Structure 1
Amino acid sequence: MSERVTPATAELQSDTGAHDGDAKHFTRSMGVVETLSLGFTYLSPLTGVAALLPLGLATAGPPSVWWLVIVAAGQLLVALVFGEVVSQYPITGGIYPWARRLWGRRYAWIVAWVYLCAMIVTITSVAQFAVPYVGSLFGFTPTPGQGLFIAVGLLLLALVLKMAGTKTLGAVARVGFYAEIAGVICYGLYLLLFERHNSFGVFFDAMGTDAGAPYYQVFLLAALTGLFMFYGFEACGDVAEEVENPGRVIPRAMILTVVFGLISGCAAFVGFVMAAPNLQAIVDGEVADPMSTILQDVMGPVGTKIFLVVAVTAFISCVLSLEAALSRLIFSFARDNMLPASKPLSTLSSNGTPRTAMLVSCAAPMVVCVWVFIEPDSLPRVTAFAVCGIYLCFQLVVLAALRMRTKGWRPAGLWSLGRAGHIINVAALMYGVAAILILLRPGDPSLMFIDRWVVAIGLAVVLGSGALYMAIARPWGNSTAPAGDALEVAAQLRATRAQQNTVSARD
């Protein structure tokens, strides 16, 4: 039996945990390991390095590794801000309910719309980046048609796994987490310790990528190497109503996701680069699949095959985590009557999963996969749009938190930054604005106008279509969910906590 969760009481129940075990609500069965695993496999350092190591090396040479450090530091600031917000509002959907409670329904609608579109494209990008690794695993080079079949197959496999329920989702995320650790840390460290062919000095050598131009220009072009990897920690908050003690567990899981992502991503990037027998050929773009080539040269076919199994497992887990996060966003959006067909999209099955929202989270990326099949050269541009859209949504939440702080908001969740919160919030916003400006920079001047400005154009189309729908349908008027109440809720939480402490002291 399936029942719809209405917006009138769902968030109050999610804060108190009163619905645990009730079939018409999510079941809290995820602990800190499962929550960390979900965020880590969404962030997926192995996927990021495997997908964008060639781009980073060909664009800016080995120094492109420093983008991992720069972006991780900036995203850690964002994760700290998110941690305070989710601790006060441990609500399914993450970005959307946070924006609504910090600012208002209209603001939250456009934030969620951009985030939803960017998530769909991100899932497509990860599925497409997995195609050559699946082909290498089975010993063939996929044709465009086979690539479409593989990408769609990965999306369907993730759908089947997540339909099984929250426990299965947590278990698969855990497997993906171990695969990531094995793939990026174990392989990276092995190569670093036993198969070095290059010195650490290469990470300060452009190796000809600047071609006489100021190096900072080509270095900025390689920013996607880090920017693509370090988001996904917010997925820990997307499943807040399925996590035990979310006010404490989720902030810690977000922070650990970024820290572990940096450690494992750097281990893989540095290990593979220093083990490359012919690094210059890779930098010159003469090697189509650098990671597999390096492994073949230094570890032989058996070691390469094991790595490919691990890599494909990580890709599957990453797609699963992405689809799970997207389905919870759609569910949360629909629960507030903010979408067409809100009733079926906000329905939970008997095992506590939003099955209709899950189907949409699988079907929508399939449509984009067909577009990539028709226009195969569009994948890098599609990926850049996805990253920019998600970074914009992040910063809209950071901005909303800072605006509320100027009104006197002091986050009242079980996890808090204390007096440092305001300074960290400002720093996170400054970092995010800089990242967005880098992503919006035009491409190579030799490209056509649309290709040079494709990220900005794509973002304008999404924002424009969202604004048009808002003007026509006025979806925020359908919702009775609370909005803009961060100050009031913080005061209520503090009063309740003080009362509980007084009772405890008397007892």
Structure 2
Amino acid sequence: MSTTQPTSDARGRNEGDGFYDFHDKDDAAHLHALGYKSEFKRDMSPWANFSLGFTYLSPVVGIYTLFAFALATGGPPMIWSLVIVGVGQLLVALTFSEIVAQFPVAGGVYPWARRLWGRRYAWMTGWVYLVALLVTIASVAYGSGPFIAATFGIDATVNNVIAFSLLLLAVATAINFMGTKVLAKAAIIGFSAEIIGALVVGGWLLIAHREHNIGIIFDSFGAGGDGDYMWAFAAAALIGLYQYYGFEACGDVAEEVPDPGRLIPKAMRRTIYIGGAAATFVCLSLILAVADIPAVIAGEDTDPVSTVLGEAFGPVGSKIILVIVLISFLSCAMSLQAAASRLAYSYGRDEMIMGSSLLKKFSPTRHVPPYALLLAAVVPAVIIVGSKFSTDAITKIISFAALGIYIGFQMVVLAALRARLKGWVPSGKYSLGKWGLAVNIAALVYGVTAMINMAWPRTPDAPWYDNWIVALSAAVVIGIGLVYMVVHPLHDKSTAPYADAIPTK
């Protein structure tokens, strides 16, 4: 077991209640003070750490996937959701920054919730987030299938899409198995390809294929019909809500980054700034290049992205863009796998879940958790194969993914607020100071609002279970987690430190 046993009381508190003078200690000493001896190698540079978060957020994957839906639902003003959500998620990132600076432990939201609240709360936080990550890996890999088929001029049949999806998943897994250094290089390559592609494609569309002036981002073109436009905008805002997560991956690999308490908060903020700016730029260039926006809103043009790219770049140029898109999908899947495997490893290291003896195993040559990585490959592969039997079923399962990630986020934000009210004062290398409480509250208000919007039923003509599918999916995942906690309560036996952010009285 890689966990050391620090001095603690019956509740698992570390001596000093989690308040240490870390500024003069090195990374290993800091981690040891938190109760762990890391097996990872700190081979991930600040640039690579940012690239990991950026490729997880992936502006190309997010915008290209949901552009048609958002434009048809809310018209050009839907682009403002990227700004609104970007500000909201920045508040969440700032809250996370204070936490990771004090607790730079592998696994992200699970260990953060553990230190801020306790074992049971952390178990549920990690469970919801892990399920959401595994499903998201499947959705990204599956989404790449049609693009791979188009790149090689092969029909996108169900079997071909599944085969190509599994191929991309296998490549992402192989990269992760090569270790932190290779993962870091791959993340930088993915970031470079995606940001250059976004700038080149967007710039060319704005220069040579702009059909409208900037003023149309205030014109709904009748989207939403005769009702209140705000309902249409709220629905279209899903493009923003699905776009802005990935920054937390910077903290999932905290034990692989030198000086994480200082560098990871910077990487998180840069992911929001640069990723958000790139996503907004791509979205704007596409909006201004769509010649017939009313046709998109009327459902006559169901794939405006392909229409625009085909007209602007022709067959050869379109192939080049498809390759960039594939690199983006691969980088995104790779980053998601890295995050999910570190979370599963963190669970195993703390002896929190069935199979911990395997999940906590570590490769002494590659410096990665092999069985945790296999989990992040096998479960998504099973979901992808399951799509052959019911493509509708996989759509329903994936509908939970984004909401699940937001739930995991907000459980940490809530835990941080509770800890503050109980006396926690962030003591890491990054602090919001007197603004901490206000930012924390604002982040929670934003997050709850976003989750309500994501789960809100919008298909009144469909059966009730389809209308409420997003909320029901979340309820099922949480319900299964609660049943597991009752039947197999390993979390109560875990001896790793917990709840030490809150000072004793």
**TM-score, structure 1 as length reference:** 0.92
Listed one character per residue, the Cα deviations across residues 444-485 of structure 1 (whole Å, up to 9, x for unaligned) are 100111110111111111111111111111121231111110
State the partner residue of 1:202: 216
Distance 2:139 2:185 in 1: 24
1:447 aligns to 2:444 (yes or no)? no
Is 1:437 equivalent to 2:452 in the alignment? yes
In structure 1, the residue matched to 2:98 is 84
Contact in 2 for aligned 1:87/1:413 (Cα 8 Å)? yes
Cross-structure match for 1:497: none
Rounded to whole Å, the distance in 2 between the matches of 1:195 and 1:342 is 55
Cα distance in 2 for residues equivalent to 1:322 and 1:337 = 23
Q: Which moved more, 1:295-304 or 1:454-463?
A: 295-304
**Residues 225-304 of structure 1 mapped to structure 2, 5 A cutoff:** 225-304=239-318
* Separation in structure 2 between the aligned mates of residue 383 and residue 223 of structure 1, nearest angstrom: 18
- Provide, for residues 166-194 of structure 1, a one-character-per-residue CA deviation record: whole Å limited to 9, x for no partner: 00100111111011102222211221233
The one of 326, 334, 359 equivalent to 2:374 is 359
The match for 1:495 is none
- Does the Cα contact within 8 Å between 2:410 and 2:448 map onto a contact in 1? yes
Residue in 2 aligned with 1:191?
Answer: 205
Identity %: 44
List gaps (5 residues or longer) in structure 2: 7-13, 19-26
Q: How many angstroms does 1:132 deviate by?
A: 2.0
Asked if 1 retains the 8 angstrom alpha-carbon contact of 2:247 and 2:272, the reply is yes
Return the letter of the residue paired with 1:427. A
Kindly report which structure 2 residues correspond to 1:21-420, keeping only aligned pairs within 5 A, or say none. 25-350=39-364, 351-378=366-393, 380-420=395-435
3-state SS of paired residue (1:189):
helix
Whether contact under 8 Å (1:159, 1:320) holds in the other structure is yes
After the TM superposition, which of the residue ranges 127-136 and 284-293 deviates more from structure 2?
Answer: 284-293
1:23–1:349: 8 Å Cα contact kept in structure 2? no
TM-superposed deviation, 1:218: 1.5
Counterpart of 1:5, as a letter, is: S
Determine the structure 1 residue equivalent to 2:490.
475
Partner of 1:5: 2
Alpha carbons of structure 1 residues 323 and 476: separation in structure 2 relative to 1, 3 Å: same
| Change in 2 beyond 3 A, CA 1:221/1:380 | farther
Secondary structure, aligned partner of 1:348: coil
3-state SS in 2 of match to 1:167:
helix
Shift of 1:327: 0.4
Offset of residue 288 of structure 1: 4.1
Q: CA RMSD in A?
A: 2.1
- Specify the SS of the correspondent of 1:186: helix
* 8 Å Cα contact 1:24-1:349 kept in structure 2: no
| AA at the equivalent of 1:411 | P
CA shift in 2, pair 1:433/1:23, >3 Å = closer
Higher mean C-alpha displacement, 391-400 vs 290-299: 290-299
CA displacement 1:248-288 (0-9 Å, x = unmatched): 01000000001111110011011011112333333333334
2:443 aligns with: 428
CA positional deviation for 1:378? 4.5
Whole-Å Cα distance in 2 between the matches of residues 445 and 23 of structure 1?
53
1:245 Cα shift? 0.5
**2:459 is the alignment partner of 1:462:** no
How many Å separate the matches in 2 of 1:18 and 1:423? 32
* Cα contact 1:14–1:241 (8 A) shared by 2: no
Give 5+ residue unaligned stretches, structure 1: 492-507
> Does the 8 Å CA contact 1:224/1:384 hold for their aligned counterparts?
no
Q: TM-score, normalised by structure 2?
A: 0.92
- Deviation at 1:365? 0.8
Q: Which amino acid aligns with 1:6?
A: T
**In the alignment, what sits opposite 2:9?**
none
Report what 2:11 is aligned to. none
Please state how far the C-alpha of 1:141 moved relative to its aligned partner. Answer: 3.5
User: Cα deviation per residue 1:284-342 (whole Å; 9 max; x = unaligned)?
Assistant: 33334322321111222222111111110010010000011000000001111111111
Distance 1:395 1:271, change over 3 A: same
Q: Give the whole-Å Cα distance in 2 for the aligned partners of 1:144 and 1:222.
A: 28
**Higher helix proportion, which one?**
1
Q: Is the 8 A contact 1:102 1:486 kept in 2?
A: yes
How many residues are aligned here? 484
The 8 Å contact of residues 191 and 275 in structure 1, kept in 2 or not, is answered as yes
Q: CA deviation at 1:381?
A: 4.0
Contact persistence 2:31–2:37 (CA under 8 A): no
